[in-house]
Amino acid sequence: MVFMANKSTPDYLFEMANQCFRRARTGSNARVELEALGNEFMVEAIDLDIKLQNLAKGNYTASSPHGGNDYGQAAF
């Protein structure tokens, strides 16, 4: 994998995922592997993008301050 200095890392990972998905649709023999690789790139891109957004907001924590299952709930 080559790092693109003019793109953010999440953008680069999203692009790599899209390339894998496009190539998987071309009837490639490696269709399953390309789709799996695209999914891995997408997961990494999303995780990294969320961490970068949290760092930019200044509220990044390694774990939830409420101790767990508060997905989708706003903290007041």
Structural domain of residue 46, as residue ranges?
A: 9-57
pLDDT surpassing 60 at residue 76 = no
CA neighbor of 65 nearest in space, from 50, 56, 76: 76
- 66 falls within a domain: no
Residue 58, CA distances (Å) to 35, 39, 70 in order: 35, 29, 19
Q: How many domains does the chain have?
A: 1
- 53 falls within a domain: yes
Contact 20, 37 (CB under 8 A): yes
H or E element in which residue 19 lies: helix 9-24
Contact 65, 75 (CB under 8 A): yes
pLDDT tens per residue across span 42-59: 999 999 999 988 888 886
- 71 falls within a domain: no
- 13 falls within a domain: yes
CA neighbor of 38 nearest in space, from 59, 55, 23: 23
pTM to 2 decimals?
0.60
